[in-house]
Structures are given as structure tokens and as C-alpha cells.
């Protein structure tokens, strides 16, 4: 059943054992109303605590959608503070070399809205930022984003609209930072094996292992 199916009145719809929530009223009957502080914590401008968090974050997720609602979530990572706070309502995020698919960027051109989640290792809460976005090919602040001699090709200019800290329950349930409970990475196929089996079956595995080996680290900031 498509998750985009039209809602119907009443208690929902059953298709093959799936019962769909029919609308906001039914959703609230199931989940209840948010606590007051879940509403009052939201701001449009950056508080000093938000700025401190962003300055210590080495990793964020960027959510976008195109004009038809097709979604994408992309990870971004760099040394802590790679996202620059330009003023109380503006962030700048550098682009680094990647796979050149540009899924998120194409979405932004069609629908200039963005959602961000900032992580700080070891912290179980996160910072969420929603707002508008523009793609810049140059600006004076690009010089502040240089890493290992490489200036970014592009940057995102984010205008904040909704900013709030998200509670730690998901991290506590998943025990994400409990490294002693992490699965053995060797239980999953290597990046080279994944690439061969899914994307490049005609490429020799040894060649892929070389590509994703030590040389891969040298391409993090320049092709």
C-alpha cells in the first residue's frame, strides 16, 4: 500500500492487515498532545546554546524533498564547527567532494526547504533546525571553510525558521553510543564487496579494494 494513499474518513483503512491512520484527529487520539515545553522550546533564532552545539558538531543529516515530495537524507561531516553560524538566523554548510549524484541539491533547486539534525558524539540529545536554503557558488565566508588547502565548491545558506533540541529517547533505546555493544563490523560486507555486488559487478574486487583503501582517505577534500 502506498504511503501516499488518500486518507479516508473514519477509523482508518485496512489493506492486507495494514490499518492506516486516517488523519490528524486520529493520530492525536493515539499519541496524545505534546507537553508544553515540547512547544515552548522551539525558536526561530539561534540561542547561544544552539550556537555552542553547532560549533561542537562534526556531523549532521540534511533532509530535502523535491517539488513532488520525493525525499532525500544526506550525511555531512567534517571537523567540529564545519557548519558556520553567520548570524542568529543564518547558517552556512560547505560542500565537499562526494559521489556527484547531487540528489539533495537538485531537490533544493526545486523546493528550497531543508531540515537538519546536528549530532555531538557521546550526547544522546540532538539539535534540529528547519528552514529555507539557497545554494551558493561563492561568498566571502568560503575562505573560513577551507580544509587542508581546499576551498568548498559550493555552500548552503540556511535561513532558520524552527530550532529546537530533540530529546534523547531514541539514542537511549538504540544505545547508539555504547560502543561495547556495537556489532562486529566484519559481520557485514566490506564497502568494496558491496560496490561489486550492487553497483559494479564487472569490476575486479581487488581493484575496488584498492580504490576504497588508503588512497580513499586522500580524496576527502579534493579529487
Residue 222: predicted pLDDT: 82
Give the residues across from 6 on adjacent strands. Answer: none
Task: Please work out, in degrees rounded to the nearest 5, the angle formed at the alpha carbon of residue 189 by the alpha carbons of 100 and 126.
Answer: 60
Residue 17, helix vs strand vs coil: coil
CB atoms inside a 10 Å sphere around CB 15: 10
Q: Which CATH number fits domain 48-172: 2.10.109.10, 3.30.420.40, 2.60.120.260, 2.30.110.10?
A: 2.30.110.10
- In the 8-state DSSP scheme, what is residue 84? E
Residue ranges per domain, the chain? 48-172, 183-217
Query: How far is CA 214 from each of CA 77, 190, 218, rounded to the nearest angstrom?
Result: 19, 14, 7
Query: How far is CA 96 from each of CA 76, 128, 150, rounded to the nearest angstrom?
Result: 9, 22, 9
Cα separation, 12 vs 29, in Å, equals: 13
- Strands annotated E in the chain: 13-15, 18-20, 59-65, 71-77, 84-87, 90-94, 113-119, 126-136, 155-166
Give the predicted TM-score (pTM) of the model: 0.89
Per-residue pLDDT of the chain (223 residues; tens, 9 = 90+): 334 444 545 455 556 789 999 999 999 999 999 999 999 999 999 999 999 999 999 999 999 999 999 999 999 999 999 999 999 999 999 999 999 999 999 999 999 999 999 999 999 999 999 999 999 999 999 999 999 999 999 999 999 999 999 999 999 999 999 999 999 999 999 999 999 999 999 999 999 999 999 989 988 998 6
CA-only gyration radius of the chain, Å: 21
Phi first, then psi: give them for residue 14, nearest 5 degrees: -110, 125
Amino acid at each position: 500500500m502506498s504511503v501516499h494513499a488518500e486518507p479516508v474518513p473514519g477509523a482508518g483503512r485496512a489493506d492486507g492487515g495494514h490499518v492506516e491512520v486516517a488523519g490528524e484527529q486520529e493520530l492525536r487520539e493515539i499519541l496524545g498532545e505534546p507537553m508544553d515545553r515540547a512547544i515552548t522550546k522551539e525558536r526561530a533564532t539561534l540561542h547561544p546554546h544552539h550556537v555552542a552545539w553547532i560549533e561542537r558538531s562534526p556531523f549532521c543529516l540534511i533532509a530535502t524533498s523535491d517539488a513532488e515530495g520525493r525525499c532525500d537524507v544526506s550525511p555531512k561531516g567534517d571537523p567540529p564547527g564545519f557548519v558556520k553560524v553567520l548570524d542568529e538566523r543564518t547558517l552556512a554548510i560547505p560542500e565537499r567532494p562526494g559521489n556527484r549524484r547531487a540528489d539533495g541539491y537538485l531537490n533544493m533547486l526545486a523546493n528550497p526547504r531543508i531540515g537538519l539534525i546536528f549530532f555531538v558524539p557521546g550526547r544522546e540529545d540532538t539539535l534540529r533546525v528547519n528552514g529555507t536554503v539557497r545554494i551558493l557558488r561563492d561568498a566571502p565566508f568560503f575562505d573560513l571553510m577551507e580544509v587542508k588547502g581546499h576551498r568548498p565548491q559550493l555552500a548552503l545558506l540556511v535561513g532558520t525558521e524552527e530550532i529546537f533540541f530533540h530529546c534523547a529517547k531514541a539514542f537511549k533505546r538504540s544505545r547508539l553510543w555504547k560502543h561495547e555493544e556495537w556489532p562486529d563490523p566484519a559481520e557485514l560486507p566490506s564497502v568494496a564487496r558491496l560496490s561489486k555486488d550492487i553497483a559494479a559487478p564487472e569490476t575486479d574486487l581487488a581493484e575496488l579494494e584498492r580504490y576504497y583503501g588508503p588512497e580513499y582517505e586522500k580524496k576527502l577534500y579534493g579529487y
